Amino acid sequence: MMYKLENGKLVEAPVVWKGIVGYNKNLDRLVADGWKPLIVTGEGEIVKYIEHGDHIEERHSVPPYDYRALRAKAYPPLGDVIDAICKAYEGDDTELQAILAQRNIVKATIKKEPDAD
């Protein structure tokens, strides 16, 4: 899923936009239009959204401490991964590339060690 911050509120990419059906699945178009993946950090109430250069962070009231749990929440659902792999096998790797990009962002953002660079 890709998102934008509009007036401090998180907005999900629409399925249809300006006559383009499946707009929310067109990674190249979404990135070109400024949509970004969402990374969740922490637990509890949502404190704020922070826009970074390549993603939007959803920061919660309880700071992160267990990188495994945080990464698991930040990764796309398993069903989406399987679907993307199947589509890539059939020749369309657009969704798989988006998932791989989100995976790299998660690994870079949520470190194994809290103080790791």
Q: For residue 11, is pLDDT > 80?
A: yes
Q: For residue 116, is pLDDT > 70?
A: no
User: How far, rounded to the nearest angstrom, does the alpha carbon of residue 113 sit from its chain's CA centroid?
Assistant: 21
Average pLDDT over residues 64-84: 85
Contact assessment for residue 72 and residue 43, using Cβ atoms and an 8 Å cutoff: no
Average pLDDT over residues 15-27: 89
pLDDT (tens digit per residue) in 77-96: 999 999 999 999 999 999 99
Contact assessment for residue 111 and residue 67, using Cβ atoms and an 8 Å cutoff: yes
Place 46 in a pLDDT band, splitting at 50, 70 and 90. confident
Return the H-helix or E-strand segment holding 111. none
